[in-house]
């Protein structure tokens, strides 16, 4: 494997306009002769048919910047971080070997780290256990199942985080010990980056983020988020697909709840960003995508291709 150019990873809370910054980075890199490619690191944007709910790159944005691992999983399929790690690392390696600069963009912290480091997820559980737990989750809800987790896990997994509650339950019933980072502490994988990279965190004030989230949710509703969710549900949407923010709430027409969910998720994303050593934070404020992109490229240009580390802190 050749070293290739330093890859750029964009992360940050929902509503900060990460995709717009990625597209502008691509414009500026192309102007100097590069041929970048985006690699999605959002757990919902991998699904085909959830483009509105996930806030995926638009057709216009994809025309300006090639996106990989976007909208390729059928909505009725389960999709894991382990499988994502395999695919994302392969995409990154292929791009760098071709002399292309990958731009990782998305808001799923686990996927970002899975793409950048050697992830070590627990072994798959038998299909029988997975179906059993999924059925129980549908019947009882995540809060009830959360109460039955060992105390060491209850304090680190939110009772409404159905995906992590289900995963922890599956592993326990299969006789496996849930990996530390699945329960909110310790390091799940090695700290060394697989490839030279810069991590750019895009943030904004709480006031600005709230305003952007409200505008985003309104636009999603106008673009047919409720219809998209209903169609996915009718098609047998998997548990991991139904984890899309506002999936059920859009169907119910409860936009205030959707806004609340996005704000809560944004706070969790900020927590991820604060825990990751080596992230350079860029405050959006009143700055546009062009200015932010230039600063991120400047950061990438300033970095050598020597080994760097990424680790969880706190």
Kindly report, residue by residue over 72-110, the tens digit of the pLDDT.
999 999 898 888 999 999 999 999 999 999 999 999 988
Domain residue spans of the chain: 7-120+196-302, 127-178
The CA distance from 173 to 125, in Å, is 9
Neighbour-count burial of 31, counting CB atoms closer than 10 A to its CB (0-12 exposed, 13-18 middle, 19+ buried): exposed
CATH 3.40.50.300 given to domain 7-120+196-302? yes
Higher pLDDT, 149 or 128: 149
How far is 154 from 167, CA to CA, in rounded Å? 13
pLDDT digits (tens, 9 = 90+) for 267-302: 888 887 877 778 899 999 889 999 999 999 999 999
* Residues 133 and 166 sit within 8 Å (Cβ to Cβ): yes
> Rounded distance, CA 152 to CA 111, Å?
24
Strand positions, DSSP E, the chain: 7-11, 37-40, 67-68, 102-105, 197-203, 279-283
pLDDT of residue 122: 57
Answer for the pair 110, 187: CB distance below 8 angstroms, yes or no: no
Reported as a single tens digit per residue, the pLDDT across 132-153 is: 888 888 889 889 999 999 988 8
The pTM of the full predicted model, rounded to 2 decimals, is 0.79
Q: What is the pLDDT of residues 244-258, one digit of tens each?
A: 999 999 999 999 999
Six-digit token pair at 195?
Answer: 């490839």
- Angle formed by the axes of helices 109-116 and 81-97, to 10°? 50
The confidence score (pLDDT) of residue 270 equals: 87
pLDDT tens digits for range 228-244: 999 999 999 998 999 99
Q: How far is CA 150 from CA 145, 156, 178, 181, in A?
A: 11, 11, 11, 15
- DSSP conformation class of 123: P
User: Residue for token digits 């690392």?
Assistant: 89
Starting at the earlier edge strand, list the strands of the sheet with 102-105: 67-68, 37-40, 102-105, 7-11, 197-203, 279-283
- Of 25, 1, 3, nearest in space to 202 by CA: 25
């Amino acid at each position: 494997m050749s070293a290739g150019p330093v890859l750029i990873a964009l992360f940050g809370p929902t509503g900060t306009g990460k995709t717009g910054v990625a597209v502008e980075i691509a414009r500026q890199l192309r102007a100097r002769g590069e041929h970048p490619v985006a690699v999605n690191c959002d757990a919902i944007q991998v699904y085909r048919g959830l483009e509105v709910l996930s806030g995926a790159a638009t057709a216009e944005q994809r025309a300006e910047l090639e996106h990989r691992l976007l909208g390729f999983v059928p909505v009725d399929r389960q999709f894991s971080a382990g499988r994502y790690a395999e695919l994302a690392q392969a995409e990154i390696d292929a791009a760098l070997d071709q002399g292309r600069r990958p731009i990782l963009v998305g808001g799923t912290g686990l996927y970002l780290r899975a793409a950048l480091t050697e992830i070590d997820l627990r072994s798959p559980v038998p299909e029988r256990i997975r179906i059993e737990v999924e059925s129980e989750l549908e019947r009882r809800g995540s809060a009830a199942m959360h109460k039955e987790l060992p105390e060491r896990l209850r304090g680190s997994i939110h009772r409404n985080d159905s995906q992590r509650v289900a995963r922890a339950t599956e592993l326990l019933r299969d006789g496996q010990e849930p990996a530390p980072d699945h329960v909110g502490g310790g390091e799940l994988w090695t700290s060394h980056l697989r490839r030279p990279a810069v991590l750019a965190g895009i943030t904004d004030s709480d006031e600005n983020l709230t305003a952007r989230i409200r505008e985003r949710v309104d636009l999603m509703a106008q673009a047919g988020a409720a219809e998209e969710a209903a169609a996915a549900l009718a098609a047998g949407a998997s548990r991991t697909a139904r984890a899309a923010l506002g999936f059920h709430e859009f169907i119910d027409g409860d936009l205030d709840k959707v806004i609340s969910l996005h704000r809560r998720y944004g706070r969790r994303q900020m927590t991820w960003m604060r825990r990751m050593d080596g992230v350079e934070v860029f405050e959006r404020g009143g700055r546009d995508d062009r200015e932010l992109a230039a600063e991120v490229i400047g950061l990438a240009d300033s970095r050598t291709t020597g080994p760097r580390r990424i680790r969880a802190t706190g």
